[in-house]
Amino acid sequence: MTQPKLKSKVRCKDREIGEVSKVIVDPLSHEISHIVVSMNGSGERQVPMGQVESVTDDLVALRTLSAELLALPPFKRDDYVTTHEVEIAHLEEKVHVAPGEVLVPLPELEKSVKRRTFFMNLTHVIGFLIGLPIAFPVLRYLMKPMYAPFDNSWLKIGNVSKIKQEDVGVQFKYKRTVKEAYMPEAEIEKNVWILKATPAVLDKVYQGKDMEFRDAAGKTVWTNKKDMPYVAFSGKCPHLGCGYKWRQHKLLGQVFLCPCHLSIYDAAGKVLDGPAPRPLDALPIKVSAGGDVEIIDMEFKAGTKTQIRII
């Protein structure tokens, strides 16, 4: 028997009753199991294919009388889903109905909304709980090298005999060993500017207070006494980290001058001109009786008004 077409007329034994509005397919056998007959406004009825006597091009003839058909329960559309909403492989090969509404029954177990929502939510909860235990370890893992503790060891960088004049910046070059993670120890070259300051300049640097340097926990590591004449400035410009020089300026006299963006500082490190957000960063310094200078190598975040130590 050819498959019934949508929109073909349906006739019972006694009279024409309506047309085929939908077709229902069995999901396992891929055969048409029922047709849904729309009775010209008086509702729809679901008719099993067993009751179909013959199918011609645009007519489906039923074995039953119209009264029997009307006595059937009304068609429940909610018990079914369209073939767009369900994945049934190779269905089109067997069902040759012109496009319209081809329906597939909703499995009995899926009809419970409570069940469906429960398992959906449970799946989400479990999925969330799978990721949760590793979220924290992964975060710590990735953050390991980001906040390395500071190295507050003293480095010998030279002797003050190198400084011949007061209030004049003298560059001291030194080497610092670094060990990064699993890499072998390496040496990097750094420099500081050291000044033998007159009391006036010293006062400008310290402004009457001893300079305290603390570690990450807040404990004081060292205090630069305000009357110690030697001042060490970090070799990196506080603007963006370039190395600066001691130069003769046309108008301002002898100054620290940064070639990158032309920040200018006086002998006490105060900003005279340029984009620098704060004065030169002073470092912990101690000078031995023999004149040997030691500093603690520190680096500070560039471009900020407040001084934030990073190394």
162 binding other proteins? (CB under 8 A) = no
Write out the DSSP string of 157-168. EEEGGG--STT-
Give the C-alpha separation, 28 to 7, whole Å.
Answer: 25
**Rounded Cα distance, 31 and 3, in Å:** 9
Residue type, 253: G
Q: Does 119 bind other proteins (CB under 8 A)?
A: yes
Binder among 106, 170, 228, 240 for other proteins (CB under 8 A): 106
The interface with other proteins within residues 237-276 (CB under 8 A) comprises none
Contact status: 73 vs other proteins (CB under 8 A): no
Asked if residue 289 binds other proteins (CB under 8 A), the reply is no
Per-position x/- string for 180-219, each x denoting binding to other proteins as judged by CB under 8 A, each - no binding? -xxx-x-x--------------------------------
- Name the DSSP class of 77: G
- Minimum distance, C-beta of residue 116 to other proteins, in the bound complex (Å): 6
- Least spacing, CB of residue 101 vs other proteins, in Å: 15
CA atoms within 13 A on the CB side of 288: 11
Q: Which stretch binds other proteins (CB under 8 A): 43-51, 139-147, 283-291, 297-305?
A: 139-147
Interface with other proteins, residue 146, by CB under 8 A: no
Which stretch, 131-139, 221-229, 256-264, 281-289, contacts other proteins (CB under 8 A)? 131-139
Q: Considering the complex, state which of residue 183 and residue 289 has its C-beta at the smaller distance from other proteins.
A: 183
Min. distance of Cβ 287 from other proteins in angstroms? 18
CB of 97 to other proteins, least distance (A): 19
> On the CB side of 93, how many CA atoms lie within 13 Å of its CA?
4
At its nearest, how many Å lie between other proteins and the CB of residue 36? 18
Beta carbon nearer to other proteins, 114 or 219? 114
Does residue number 117 form part of the binding site for other proteins (CB under 8 A)? yes
Contacts of 51 (CB under 8 A, 6+ apart): 62, 63, 64
* Token pair for 170: 């003298």
Q: Which CB sits closer to other proteins, 137 or 218? A: 137
Tallying the residues shown for the chain, one arrives at: 311
What is the x/- site pattern for other proteins, positions 77-96, by CB under 8 A?
-x--x--xxxxxxx------
Q: Using CB under 8 A, which of the segments 36-44, 58-66, 165-173, 179-187 binds other proteins?
A: 179-187
Q: Give the closest residue to 81 by CA, choosing from 39, 29, 27, 44.
A: 27
Q: Which residues bind other proteins (CB under 8 A)?
A: 27-29, 78, 81, 84-90, 106-123, 125-130, 132-134, 136-138, 140-144, 177, 179, 181-183, 185, 187
